[in-house]
Chains A and B, each alone.
Chain A
Amino acid sequence: MSALVRFFQSTILSKVVMAGTGLVLVLFLLGHMIGNLQMHIGQEKMNVYAETLQHLGGVLWIIRSGLLLFLVLHIIASIRLKALNLSARPEAYAFKNTVKATLASRTMIWTGVMIALFLTYHLLHFTIKATNPQFGGLVDAVGRHDVYSMVVLGYQNVLISIVYIAAMVLLGYHLIHAIESMFQTLGINHPKYNSFIHRLSVTLSLVIVIGFISIPVGVLFGWIALPAGVVAL
């Protein structure tokens, strides 16, 4: 416990917490996105995948609590650092100027807060099924929980799709600074690799955003359609 407190007291170690937890969250997002792309293959594939995850049982809960813990640590560290950073300059410049800090890097706390709000909604929507309970109890032809149709019915609501798409754009904005920054925080900065790290950061952010967005977009354009027998309510 005292080691944990010491970690959070140091600015550098707090940033290491942010980078470490951020790395795990990025890897999770990548896996989650690739799993979800099965929506493009079809109902059968998606529902089998969802059922496999559900059958992990205890392991699923370990993964979920691990992710939640990392997210909470990430948020605690970000808020503490933000408060410290604001207090480090009590008198602002009359003439404010910026030479090269990107807009993404200057809005990390706000894109972060938006992600947290979205995440709450997203869990209520698809995991706890509180916001659209009418789509939660669907079953497919062989009796599996029909995740595929639940998602399609959800995204057929244009407003819901817009919320998801907007949230993913903000997430991408968070990641475009975050991934590159993570390397620097962990001490990886070398003229031989810096341009690769920059390209990796941009590419990974784009892949994650486009991958996730392809699903609501697919539903809105009708590439991902309801299976025969399921009707929109």
Chain B
Amino acid sequence: MKLKLHIWRQKHAQDKGKMVTYEVDGIIEDMSFLEMLDVLNEKLIVNGEEPVAFDHDCREGICGACSLTINGIPHGFEKETTICQLHMRHFKDGDTIYIEPWRARAFPVIKDLVVDRAAFDRIMQAGGFVSAHTGGVPDANATPISKIDADKAMDYAACIGCGACVAACKNASAMLFVAAKVSQYAYLPQGQPERKKRVLNMVAQMDAEGFGGCTNQYECEAVCPKGISVAAIALMNRDFLKASLTDAS
């Protein structure tokens, strides 16, 4: 099939950048969206032009590297699907597609469709971990955890840190990501000793990075490739309020 692409091109972080129009032909419906871009890039290289830079790694929906906004929707319109797992059979011949990077003050563009998501790393460094003893391996099942709680923790731990929630949010808010990373520990005994500090520090870092606030519109949940529920945000709000009122330090 043949497609018309409007792609954000930006040489480097300081460049102003603009939308540029391309045509690609010979796209097969079994290709993934990223393979379609590979086809375009090969054509650009042959023509002596700069290929389009975009982030990707596993191409199987688990690493969180890929990050494209397709017609205004991060990861495209397929529910719970990363853009690397979106296949061209969902498009038809002659379609026009807008491809843009994640847009947020806290995610500055490095080049073309690649943004700097180090803000997420700094939020994780602020508290997205549990302290554990090193040395001997603990016995399996030494700490009992109910199946229900383990499942809830796993549901939140499924977050791959892609940042689509920020890109989709009308306020470029990182609440869904931070809430997933806070809530994954809230159901586990290992998460309890640092529970208050974790939520206070991670939220403070989130605010310091320049993300917007949550207005409960749930665009994040709608685009999240891992189906993280906004119930995580309510849980984080509750934990944060409790910790703000009771934390002594």
Q: How far is the CA of A11 from the CA of B206 in the complex (A)?
A: 10
Taking the closest CB of chain B, its distance from the CB of A119, in whole angstroms, is 22
CB under 8 Å from chain A, chain B span 192-242:
203-204, 206-207, 210-219, 222-223, 230-231, 233-241
User: How many angstroms from the CA of A85 to the CA of B170 in the assembled complex?
Assistant: 8
Whether a CB of chain A sits under 8 angstroms from the CB of B73 is yes
Please report which residues of chain A, range 92-114, place their CB below 8 angstroms from some CB of chain B when the two chains form the complex.
Answer: 92-102, 105-106, 108
Closest to B207 in A: A11
B34-42, B45-53, B54-62, B103-111 - interface stretch? B103-111
| Bound Cα distance from A91 to B106, whole angstroms | 11
Cβ–Cβ contact A101 & B231, under 8 A: no
Confirm or deny: B69 has a beta carbon within 8 angstroms of a beta carbon on chain A.
yes
Shortest distance in angstroms between B226's beta carbon and chain A's nearest beta carbon?
16
Report A4-45 CB contacts with B as 1/0, cut-off 8 Å.
000001111111100000000000000000000000000000
A181 touches B215 (CB 8 A): yes
> Complex: how many Å from CA A88 to CA B98?
22
- Is the pair A9, B219 in contact by a Cβ cutoff of 8 Å? no
Query: Which residues of chain A from 106 to 127 have a CB within 8 Å of any chain B CB?
Result: 106, 108
CB neighbors of A among B70-127 (8 A)? 71-73, 98, 100, 103-106
Interface residues on B, range: 35 or more
What distance in Å separates the Cβ of B244 from its nearest Cβ neighbour in chain A?
7
Q: Which residue of A lies closest to B213 (CB)?
A: A11
Q: Does A184 contact B (CB under 8 A)?
A: yes
- The smallest C-beta distance from A199 to any residue of chain B, in angstroms, reads 17
Contact A89 B103, beta carbon cutoff 8 Å: yes
Known: A85-B173, A88-B210, A184-B216. A16 touches B241 (CB 8 A): yes
A84 to B173, CA, bound (A): 10
- Taking a contact as CB atoms under 8 Å apart, the answer to whether A187 and B213 are in contact is no
Q: Which of B71, B173, B213 has the most CB of A within 10 A?
A: B213
> Taking the nearest CB of chain B, how far is it from the CB of A79, in angstroms?
12
Beta-carbon contact of B103 and A92 below 8 Å: yes
Residue B11 CB within 8 A of the other chain: no
A188 CA to B206 CA in the complex, in Å? 22
A185 partner residues in chain B, CB cutoff 8 A:
214, 216, 237
A58 at the interface (CB under 8 A from B): no
The interface on chain A, measured as residues whose beta carbon lies within 8 A of the other chain's beta carbons, has a size of 42
When the two chains form their complex, are residues B217 and A105 in contact, meaning their CB atoms are under 8 A apart? yes
Partner of B237, one of A98, A177, A184: A184
Please determine whether B234 and A188 come into contact, CB atoms closer than 8 angstroms: yes
**In this assembly, does B150 line the interface, its C-beta being within 8 Å of a C-beta of chain A?**
no
Assess whether B171 is interfacial by the CB under 8 Å rule: yes
In the assembled complex, the Cα of A184 lies from the Cα of B98 at a distance in Å of: 33
Q: How far is the CA of A85 from the CA of B106 in the complex (A)?
A: 12
* Contact partner, A184, options B72, B212, B222, B233, Cβ 8 Å: B233
Q: Which of A14, A99, A177, A183 is close to B73, meaning CB atoms less than 8 Å apart?
A: A99
Indicate whether A87 reaches chain B with its CB closer than 8 angstroms: yes
A189 within 8 A of B: yes
A189 close to B234 (CB less than 8 A): yes
Contacts of A100 in B (CB 8 A): 217-219, 222
Given A88-B211, A94-B8, the answer on whether A189 and B218 have CB atoms closer than 8 Å is no
Q: B8 to A187, Cβ gap below 8 A?
A: no
* Bound Cα distance from A13 to B238, whole angstroms: 11
CB distance from A78 to the nearest CB of B (A): 10
Say if the beta carbon of A90 comes within 8 Å of chain B. yes
Asked if B214 and A88 sit within 8 Å, CB to CB, the answer is no
- Report whether B170 and A106 are in contact in the complex, using a CB–CB cutoff of 8 Å: yes
20 additional contacts (CB under 8 A) given A85-B173, A94-B6, A95-B6: A11-B207, A13-B240, A81-B215, A84-B171, A85-B212, A87-B105, A88-B104, A89-B171, A93-B72, A94-B8, A95-B71, A95-B72, A95-B100, A101-B217, A102-B217, A105-B216, A181-B216, A185-B237, A187-B237, A189-B230
The 7 listed contacts between A and B (C-beta, < 8 Å) are A84-B212, A88-B106, A89-B103, A92-B103, A99-B219, A186-B237, A187-B241
Which residues of A are at the interface with B, using a C-beta cutoff of 8 A?
9-16, 81, 84-85, 87-102, 105-106, 108, 177, 180-181, 183-191
**List of 10 A-B pairs having minimum Cβ-Cβ separation, nearest first:** A97-B72, A187-B238, A88-B212, A189-B234, A11-B213, A85-B171, A101-B217, A95-B98, A99-B222, A88-B172
